[in-house]
């Protein structure tokens, strides 16, 4: 059985989408084998994952998050520090950046030291680690600066002064978009005011319902700006029975695509964990047709989607039917209780 779903229009062409949070060696190798831009987190990597990242050898873009988001928690009164990042920890993360820059050069994008939700402290960190960031940039790496505070344009100016770097040195503004941290209007307004060469949208993945509006808004107001995104594609692709959120109607209630791909690997093969994860990633996402403006060009610029199953799904069991009915009843009650129009579950544009 074959079902094809394509993203409407070509809004993702020209956009680099990093599958962030791919911190296992097998996940990194799997995405690299597919030609899909890889995203990792500096404080979540072991030596095997670092070696796997180095082994990509510039064949795909690699994005390295600093892990600073885990330093704070957001409550009713704003951000609160719950897991401080020490000077020694920052130096360790920057040393990791430098090591990867040696191997990957211009294929590497790193996130500069920041403190999420704290503008002055972020500027202080940028100034404190200026020399290390400059040295990493000198190896060809691109440096993302997460913009803090209400006035993003002013912060971008101050950040460049703190680092003594500009866009000519590979500096790129990065707007936090996870959980709508920066509104669509504010993203577009920033790009209209600054006309950056490139902008990165932190935590905003291609499947997000707002992604297309943001990308098209930027292109309208700042047409020469390159755009990159990142989100945790793996997290969105695992689940034993919640496929309803990312499958066509006939596939709802099934496992999500990465879980299904992992379960389909024959245990008798006795594969090591890394190889099993690599194969699962390839099997789960191989249907994504990666588009590139030039044959053999490593940058991932967008994709269309094809979802395939070798055989029709088996008849649903009584237990599966009961679970589906219970879920529908729960959703009906939830919608009835809402005073505003119901929000439908986000439908991913990927074949998940």
| Residue 219 pLDDT greater than 50, yes or no | yes
SS3 341: coil
Q: What average pLDDT does the chain have?
A: 80
Contacts of 71 (CB under 8 A, 6+ apart): 81, 82, 83, 84, 85, 115, 116
DSSP helix, strand, coil percent of the chain (3-state; round to 5): 45, 15, 40
Question: What does the pLDDT look like over 97-156, one tens digit per residue?
Answer: 999 999 999 999 999 999 998 999 999 999 999 999 999 999 999 999 999 999 999 999
Q: Which residue has the tokens 């409407």?
A: 8
Contacts of 124 (CB under 8 A, 6+ apart): none
Three-state SS across 118-166? CHHHHHHHHHHCHHHHHHHHHCCCEEEEECCCCCHHHHHHHHHHHHCCC
Structure tokens at 232: 């945790």
Q: Could you tell me the pLDDT band of residue 239, with boundaries at 50, 70 and 90?
A: confident
| DSSP-H helix ranges across the chain | 25-34, 47-55, 87-104, 119-128, 130-138, 152-163, 184-194, 211-221, 257-263, 273-285, 318-337
SS3 191: helix
pLDDT top residue among 334 and 210 = 210
Q: How far apart are CA 246 and CA 262, in angstroms?
A: 17
Q: What's the whole-number mean pLDDT along residues 255-260?
A: 80
Amino acid 235: pLDDT: 86
Q: How far apart are CA 97 and CA 79, in angstroms?
A: 26
Q: Could you tell me the pLDDT band of residue 262, with boundaries at 50, 70 and 90?
A: confident
How do the domains of the chain map onto residue ranges? 2-308
Any idea which of 26-35, 197-206, 221-230, 242-251 has the lowest mean pLDDT? 242-251
SS3 74: strand
The DSSP code for 243 is: G
Q: Which residue has the tokens 């990312």?
A: 246
Q: Which residue has the tokens 């951000």?
A: 79
SS3 68: helix
Question: What does the pLDDT look like over 37-78, one tens digit per residue?
Answer: 999 999 999 999 999 999 999 999 999 999 998 898 887 888
Question: What does the pLDDT look like over 271-302, one tens digit per residue?
Answer: 999 999 999 898 888 754 333 333 333 333 33
Among 21, 26, 24, smallest CA distance to 276 is for 26
Q: Could you tell me the pLDDT band of residue 241, with boundaries at 50, 70 and 90?
A: low
pLDDT top residue among 299 and 187 = 187
Task: Report the top-level CATH class of 2-308.
Answer: alpha beta
Question: What does the pLDDT look like over 311-336, one tens digit per residue?
Answer: 333 455 676 566 656 655 655 565 55
């Amino acid at each position: 059985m074959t079902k094809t779903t394509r993203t409407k229009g070509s809004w993702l062409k020209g956009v680099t989408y990093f599958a962030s949070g791919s911190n296992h060696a097998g996940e990194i190798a799997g995405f690299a084998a597919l030609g899909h831009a890889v995203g990792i987190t500096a404080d979540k990597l072991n030596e095997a994952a670092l070696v796997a990242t180095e082994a990509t050898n510039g064949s795909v873009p690699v994005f390295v998050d600093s892990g600073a988001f885990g330093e704070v928690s957001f409550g009713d009164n704003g951000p609160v520090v719950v897991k401080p990042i020490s000077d020694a920890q920052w130096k360790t993360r920057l040393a990791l950046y430098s090591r990867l820059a040696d191997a990957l050069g211009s294929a590497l994008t790193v996130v500069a030291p920041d403190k999420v939700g704290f503008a002055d402290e972020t500027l202080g960190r940028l100034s404190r680690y200026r020399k290390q960031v400059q040295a990493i940039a000198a190896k060809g790496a691109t440096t993302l600066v997460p913009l803090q505070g209400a006035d993003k344009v002013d912060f971008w100016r101050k950040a460049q002064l703190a680092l003594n770097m500009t866009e000519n040195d590979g500096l790129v503004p990065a707007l936090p978009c996870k959980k709508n941290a920066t509104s669509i209007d504010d993203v577009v307004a920033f790009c209209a005011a600054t006309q950056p060469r490139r902008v990165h949208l932190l935590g905003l993945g291609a499947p997000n319902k707002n992604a297309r509006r943001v990308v098209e808004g930027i292109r309208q107001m700042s047409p020469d700006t390159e755009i990159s995104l990142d989100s945790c594609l793996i997290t969105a692709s695992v689940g034993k029975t919640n496929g309803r959120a990312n499958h066509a109607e006939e596939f709802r209630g099934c496992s999500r695509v990465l879980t299904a791909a992992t379960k389909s690997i024959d245990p008798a093969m006795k594969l090591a964990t890394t190889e099993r994860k690599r194969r699962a990633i390839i099997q789960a996402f191989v249907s994504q047709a990666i588009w590139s403006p030039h044959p053999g060009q490593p940058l991932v610029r967008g994709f269309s989607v094809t979802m395939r199953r070798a055989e029709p799904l088996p008849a649903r069991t009584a237990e599966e039917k009961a679970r589906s009915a219970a879920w529908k009843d729960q959703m009906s009650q939830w919608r009835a209780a809402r005073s505003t129009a119901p929000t439908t579950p986000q439908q991913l544009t990927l074949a998940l």
